[in-house]
A and B are shown apart, each in its own frame.
Chain A
Amino acid sequence: MPTVSVDKADLWERLGKEYTTEEFDHLCFEYGLELDEDTTAEVEAAIKAGLPAERPQLKIEVPANRYDLLCIEGIARALRIFLQKVEPPRYKCIYPPGGESELLTITCDPEVKKVRPLFACAILRNVTFTPRSYASFIDLQDKLHQNIGRRRQLVSIGTHDLDTLKPPFRYLAKPPQDIKFIPLNKDQAYTAEELMAVYEPDKHLGKYLHIIRDSPVYPIIYDSVDQVLSMPPIINSEHSKITLNTRNIFIDVTATDQTKLDIVVNIVATMFSEYCDVPYTIEPVKVVLTDGSTRISPDLSERHTTARASYVNACTGLSLKTPEVSSLLQRMSLHNTISPSNPDELLIEIPCTRPDIFHECDIMEDAAIAYGFNNLPHTFPATSTVAQPLAISKLSDIVRLEWALAGWVEVLPLILCSHEENFEFLNHADDGKTAVKIANPKTLEFQVVRTTLLPGLLKTIRENRSHPLPIKIFETSDVVFKDTSRERQARNERHAAAVWCNKTAGFEIVHGMLNRAMKMLEIPLIGNTDHKAETGYYIKESSGELCLNGLYQLWVSSSVTDPVYFPGRAATIYYRPAPAKASNKLSALSQDIKTVLHVNHDVEIGSLGILHPAVLANFEIGYPCSALEFTLEPFKKKMQKIWTNDE
């Protein structure tokens, strides 16, 4: 949320009342603003200490979609209307005395389509600035650049002293070497090419250069005598700069999309039109667009829409009459009248300063804000539903609880880790098909989404050197694998893992943890050569043997001794799922044949072993460790369906 700093005394003057901090905080809260800070105490302390001090400021957080609240002018205007001190203003385009024919014009060259296609502008006549309103004018432009303009990428603004220029104007795109002018706050002319170098180290402007740097042509605005106004979105010219004494202001706005272009030109013009001799009036400009058509800019017309009191009531839980809704909306700057044909319907005129309103629901919200969220009746939805935990949550809670009951401590490491921690540190090579990788991490700690729980557990042991031995920790949580069959190209898998660290490695300890978890899940232990058992689990020394998988497929088990473990002290965990009930004799027969053929349906679910000393060294652990890790997915129980939420 943007934060706007407003002059406290000025705001009180505009609101016609000196609020206490608490009162104003409350007003902000009700309207949807947040009073972040009141610098009064700070300023008073500075004055007391004899230090230079600014005037007391209020720092107000503003909703990100309310561009009309990005300056004191807008905040004060909105609050005065909210407090019913004034009616919402009507913003008007005033033509020059001679009418449309006297409008200033600007012609857009089709070349601009190559770099920054859209242009809008407005003129403020007979403006009177004070130093503070001038500063506010500059500040609003910056706020719009940063927010809706996405750091000038989408929209940028230039403002000029119209009296220094000779219209008509032209919006062109030219090769950078053909552009030359004295930019704002410089005393010599540079070509656009040179400017790129001049501003490169500039802390403020340097970050905008990339927007046009590589374009063959740069956008540029000239008057009729080739005087540059500005080179959007980088810099204005020194010649046309506005000062405290400027009376007539030309506002140029360039953009990549029409909606944001219109929003920005309207906001700048309407906010500062209050300083014109005739407040809230703006002189439009005739813009000849790239396709040759003309448009009068800005377009300050209200958007006409409707809202129903019944809809407002249905959504809020209120029972307001149409006129009541009408006056609530009036307080939110929305002019409206009750429809002559439908007493439920309000004809709403949405001012150009409220582009945040898309839908009737936005109008409904405004009514609710004006009514006061905290004044709404306390009701409770009658929705009756049945509660249901997820199968995977229940399963992992069982393992968590059993392992904690066994005297082990649950830890909670991060899910993101470095590539090294997930692969090299575990003596694993990255086959490129396993882990999901992050494109833009801020630190090397977050390069991949873990595919195993081991790195987090080992890092936790590393950081807990001072804990008395043995250290026995576990985690049950998700790892992520690439999965090209899915829309999101990845899938989570719930793993359970435990690491024992002591003066001796203790394979049998983590082995016992496996047995314990399986016992509690009622998975029987079967012999690793037992082909007859219907279901169960067993462990088998990891080695490079050939296995049968499916009826005729030969494959080399992936369980050649995993190099994360010490040779000869590692085993793979297999699970044989209970067979689906044979529905007919044929499938029963096939089952028998498979048994005879020793067909292996068993799935590898994990492994355990003594960690390799090189792995321990990588994680800077000075004591032997044994580790156990397996997936919990095959043990999920089918829950009673509330509704289908399987993939």
Chain B
Amino acid sequence: MAESLQQLILDTLDAQSTIQDTRLLTIPGQSVPAASHEDQITILGALNSLLSREMIIYETHETSSHALTPEGSQIVAEGSHESRVWAALPAKGEGSPLTPMQLKKQVGDETAKVGQGRAFKNGWIGKEGDGLVKLVATIQDTTQNDLKEIVSTGTLKAGEKILADLRKRKLITQRKGQWFTVRKGSNFSTSTAKPETDLTVDMLTSGAWKTSTFKKYNFDAEGASIDGGALHPLLKVREEIRNIFLEMGFAEMPTSSFVESGFWCFDALFVPQQHPARDLQDTFYLSDPKEALPPEPEYYKRVSTVHEHGGFGSTGYRAPWQHEESSKLLLRTHTTASSAHMLYKLAAKCRGDKVESDEAEFAHGSSTVDGTDDGFKPAKLFSIDRVFRNETMDATHLAEFHQVEGVVADRNLTLADLIGFMRVFFKKMGIEKVRFKPAYNPYTEPSLEIFAFHPMLDRWVEVGNSGMFRPEMLEPMGFPKDVRVHGWGLSLERPTMIRYGINNIRTLVGHKVSIEGIENSPAVMF
């Protein structure tokens, strides 16, 4: 039926180009035009189906129609209560009048009660003694006539006032209805073949795609959800920063030693043995294993001497040296411990250590003083790895975080070089405005805190630390005096939290991180 109706609509449109009023259509299988509300609902279904294929367009017209209640239907069949009362009575003088009781018996309680009043009011009946008689010979049953009109047209020409009265008498009920004006759509055709929702392999094989019509795609809806894999957002930022280092010619340092000794983590860096960073409050010490094997004795001696008694042009800390502090094992508090170890290796040839020469080593921009080779080769090194602090944890601090560290070692590097270099490095991270504050750090001199202007916060925020490693650290390693080493560091978490607008570090690192959050973290591009 649905298809034949669609076909009828299309055929009618084809012939007439417009269907002004769908109530004039005759639904296939029916004999009369589709005037009823139900018929229009059926037609609407067909219209929407055609609309989705853009075969037609239509306008909706609202109507308000009326239908009879069971009482109203009875009136259409048997006449109104008042007419039935009138019909039951004898004409005046032509028989004995009926008493109200007799009338009730004849027409029923309800009809007698409602009909009497209205018949009196219309002047159709009158009293004669105790009984009732007809006063007129013929009557016009307006109620029945009105209801008959409503049955056939759904409304009444006489107007809303009478309709309202009939509603009040519960003879009719109001029904909202619609009808439609239909025109051809952009895809109009008289074929009702069902539209395809997707291109299929069968269509390709059969060639049906050439003639098929396709259902309109809803471009407002979201696509299907994709269950892809995902890399962790912090490590995406790590990769981006790693790439910056690689773009700038840095080699990645091995940092695969979370466990360090007090010697490498602090002493070698000229951090005094009584420095607060070495407190139990700040550093994780190990209970098992407890003590490191001794470092190379000559180097150890040079380091302990420069601390305790000075040397290399320095007064030193002139504080008692405890071997115990030096050999304590701990979890590294900074990757600078690894950098110190790498620098110590870099200085091997300068110290005169026998280093296996490797002809395959890249020529490394080696520079010499006055043509004499003191064994120094410049290096640019970086690392990004985990460090540990025995801190009380809060929204921005965990006991472990990632440190980004860069080191440049060359002859005659200057503080201006460091600052210039930092400007370029941070620019690559998307940070344009930086400034430098003198600071204190036991292993660098000068030491500079790096501040960046944060446009959103509208203030300067600290983004990292930098400096030139102290001669008390470099010279005991064996570096020539003209070799200077820049170092800088920042945390990986801070720029990542800024990048992703994260306030609580626990939602970024650790097991409490939501997997869904990882899945939905956008890519990083500085």
Q: Which residues of A contact B (CB under 8 A)?
A: 1, 29-32, 34, 63-66, 147, 150, 154, 256-260, 303, 314-318, 356, 358-362, 364-365, 368-369, 373-374, 376-390, 392-393, 397, 400-401, 403-416, 432, 436-442, 445-446, 449, 456, 459-460, 462-464, 467, 471, 473, 478, 480, 482, 484, 486-492, 494, 640-646
Contact indicator B420/A378 (Cβ below 8 Å)? yes
Contact indicator B400/A488 (Cβ below 8 Å)? no
Contact indicator B274/A154 (Cβ below 8 Å)? yes
For this complex, 27 residue pairs linking A to B, each with C-beta atoms less than 8 Å apart, are A32-B437, A32-B438, A32-B440, A150-B274, A258-B318, A316-B415, A317-B414, A359-B472, A361-B470, A369-B438, A376-B415, A378-B420, A387-B250, A390-B252, A393-B252, A403-B229, A410-B230, A410-B231, A415-B400, A438-B285, A439-B286, A449-B258, A489-B292, A489-B329, A491-B257, A492-B256, A645-B345
B164 at the interface (CB under 8 A from A): no
Q: Which residue of A lies closest to B519 (CB)?
A: A409
Within 8 A of A (CB), among B267-294: 274, 276, 280, 284-294
With contacts A380-B424, A410-B231 known, is A645 near B249, CB below 8 A?
Answer: no
B510 at the interface (CB under 8 A from A): yes
B468 at the interface (CB under 8 A from A): yes
The residue from A317, A362, A643 contacting B416, defined by CB atoms under 8 A apart: A317
Q: Could you tell me the distance in whole angstroms from the C-beta of B465 to the nearest C-beta in chain A?
A: 12
Q: Which residue of A lies closest to B460 (CB)?
A: A29
Residues of chain B lying within 8 A (CB to CB) of residue A258: 318
Contact indicator B317/A467 (Cβ below 8 Å)? no
Residues of chain B lying within 8 A (CB to CB) of residue A471: 515
Report how far A365 CA is from B418 CA in the complex, Å: 13
Residues of chain B lying within 8 A (CB to CB) of residue A63: 438-440
Report how far A414 CA is from B284 CA in the complex, Å: 15
Contact indicator A644/B356 (Cβ below 8 Å)? yes
Residues of chain A lying within 8 A (CB to CB) of residue B480: none
Contact indicator B284/A441 (Cβ below 8 Å)? yes
Residues of chain A lying within 8 A (CB to CB) of residue B231: 400-401, 404, 410
Residues of chain A lying within 8 A (CB to CB) of residue B239: 397
Contact indicator A65/B440 (Cβ below 8 Å)? yes
Q: Which residue of B lies closest to A394 (CB)?
A: B252
Report how far A260 CA is from B314 CA in the complex, Å: 17
Residues of chain A lying within 8 A (CB to CB) of residue B71: none
B486 at the interface (CB under 8 A from A): yes
Report how far A317 CA is from B470 CA in the complex, Å: 17
Residues of chain A lying within 8 A (CB to CB) of residue B290: 439
With contacts A314-B412, A384-B365, A440-B390 known, is A482 near B249, CB below 8 A?
Answer: no
Residues of chain B lying within 8 A (CB to CB) of residue A440: 280, 284-285, 390
Q: Which residue of B lies closest to A460 (CB)?
A: B511
* Residue of B386, B446, B472 with highest tally of chain A CB at under 10 A: B446
Residues of chain B lying within 8 A (CB to CB) of residue A442: 390-392, 399
Report how far A645 CA is from B407 CA in the complex, Å: 15
* Residue of B249, B312, B364, B399 with highest tally of chain A CB at under 10 A: B399
Report how far A190 CA is from B417 CA in the complex, Å: 63
Residues of chain A lying within 8 A (CB to CB) of residue B516: 464, 467
4 closest A-B pairs by CB = A317-B416, A32-B438, A317-B414, A63-B440
Contact indicator A359/B286 (Cβ below 8 Å)? no
Q: Which residue of A lies closest to B424 (CB)?
A: A380
The residue from B259, B342, B446, B470 contacting A373, defined by CB atoms under 8 A apart: B446
Contact indicator A373/B448 (Cβ below 8 Å)? yes
* Residue of B317, B399, B420, B438 with highest tally of chain A CB at under 10 A: B438
Q: Could you tell me the distance in whole angstroms from the C-beta of A454 to the nearest C-beta in chain B?
A: 12
Contact indicator A642/B515 (Cβ below 8 Å)? no
The residue from A65, A316, A361, A381 contacting B408, defined by CB atoms under 8 A apart: A381
Report how far A585 CA is from B38 CA in the complex, Å: 99
The residue from A388, A405, A482, A490 contacting B229, defined by CB atoms under 8 A apart: A405
Residues of chain B lying within 8 A (CB to CB) of residue A473: 515
Q: 12 new A-B pairs (CB below 8 Å) besides A65-B442, A373-B419, A644-B356?
A: A63-B439, A64-B440, A259-B318, A317-B417, A377-B420, A388-B251, A390-B252, A404-B230, A410-B518, A411-B518, A415-B386, A446-B284
Contact indicator A478/B274 (Cβ below 8 Å)? no
Contact indicator A640/B261 (Cβ below 8 Å)? no
Contact indicator A389/B242 (Cβ below 8 Å)? yes
B346 at the interface (CB under 8 A from A): yes
Report how far A489 CA is from B290 CA in the complex, Å: 9
B76 at the interface (CB under 8 A from A): no
Q: Which residue of B lies closest to A350 (CB)?
A: B315
The residue from B284, B417, B518 contacting A438, defined by CB atoms under 8 A apart: B284
Residues of chain A lying within 8 A (CB to CB) of residue B512: 463
The residue from B235, B437, B445 contacting A29, defined by CB atoms under 8 A apart: B437
Interface residue tally for chain B (C-beta within 8 Å):
120
B10 at the interface (CB under 8 A from A): no
Contact indicator B419/A376 (Cβ below 8 Å)? yes
* Residue of B242, B355, B420 with highest tally of chain A CB at under 10 A: B420
Residues of chain A lying within 8 A (CB to CB) of residue B253: 390, 645
Residues of chain B lying within 8 A (CB to CB) of residue A643: 251, 345-346, 361, 364, 377, 379
B431-443 vs A: 1/0 string, CB under 8 Å?
Answer: 0000111111010
Within 8 A of A (CB), among B354-374: 355-356, 358, 360-362, 364-365
B372-396 vs A: 1/0 string, CB under 8 Å?
Answer: 0000011110000010101110000
The residue from B286, B420, B424 contacting A437, defined by CB atoms under 8 A apart: B286
Residues of chain A lying within 8 A (CB to CB) of residue B274: 150, 154
Residues of chain A lying within 8 A (CB to CB) of residue B151: none
Residues of chain A lying within 8 A (CB to CB) of residue B439: 32, 63
Residues of chain A lying within 8 A (CB to CB) of residue B356: 644
With contacts A436-B289, A463-B512, A644-B345 known, is A386 near B437, CB below 8 A?
Answer: no
Q: Which residue of A lies closest to B348 (CB)?
A: A644
Within 8 A of A (CB), among B496-521: 509-516, 518-519
With contacts A487-B292, A640-B360 known, is A449 near B318, CB below 8 A?
Answer: no
Contact indicator A488/B292 (Cβ below 8 Å)? yes
With contacts A381-B410, A438-B285, A449-B258 known, is A413 near B510, CB below 8 A?
Answer: yes
Contact indicator A412/B416 (Cβ below 8 Å)? no
With contacts A359-B314, A359-B472 known, is A387 near B247, CB below 8 A?
Answer: yes
Contact indicator B259/A490 (Cβ below 8 Å)? yes
Residues of chain A lying within 8 A (CB to CB) of residue B228: 407
B319 at the interface (CB under 8 A from A): yes
Report how far A446 CA is from B260 CA in the complex, Å: 17
With contacts A409-B519, A415-B400, A478-B256 known, is A383 near B437, CB below 8 A?
Answer: no
Residues of chain A lying within 8 A (CB to CB) of residue B361: 641-643
Q: Could you tell me the distance in whole angstroms from the C-beta of B474 to the nearest C-beta in chain A?
A: 10
Report how far A389 CA is from B245 CA in the complex, Å: 10
Contact indicator A392/B256 (Cβ below 8 Å)? yes
Report how far A320 CA is from B377 CA in the complex, Å: 29
Contact indicator B365/A490 (Cβ below 8 Å)? no
The residue from B288, B442, B470, B509 contacting A436, defined by CB atoms under 8 A apart: B288
* Residue of B294, B415, B451 with highest tally of chain A CB at under 10 A: B415
Residues of chain B lying within 8 A (CB to CB) of residue A365: 438, 445-447
Residues of chain B lying within 8 A (CB to CB) of residue A487: 261, 292-295
With contacts A150-B274, A378-B423, A413-B510 known, is A406 near B258, CB below 8 A?
Answer: no
B305-334 vs A: 1/0 string, CB under 8 Å?
Answer: 000001011111111100000000101000
B398 at the interface (CB under 8 A from A): yes
Contact indicator A414/B410 (Cβ below 8 Å)? no
Residues of chain B lying within 8 A (CB to CB) of residue A389: 242, 246, 251-252
Report how far A265 CA is from B439 CA in the complex, Å: 25
Residues of chain A lying within 8 A (CB to CB) of residue B442: 65
B136 at the interface (CB under 8 A from A): no
Report how far A491 CA is from B510 CA in the complex, Å: 22
Q: Which residue of B lies closest to A413 (CB)?
A: B511
Within 8 A of A (CB), among B80-119: none
Contact indicator B515/A441 (Cβ below 8 Å)? no
B177 at the interface (CB under 8 A from A): no
With contacts A387-B251, A410-B230, A471-B515 known, is A489 near B289, CB below 8 A?
Answer: yes
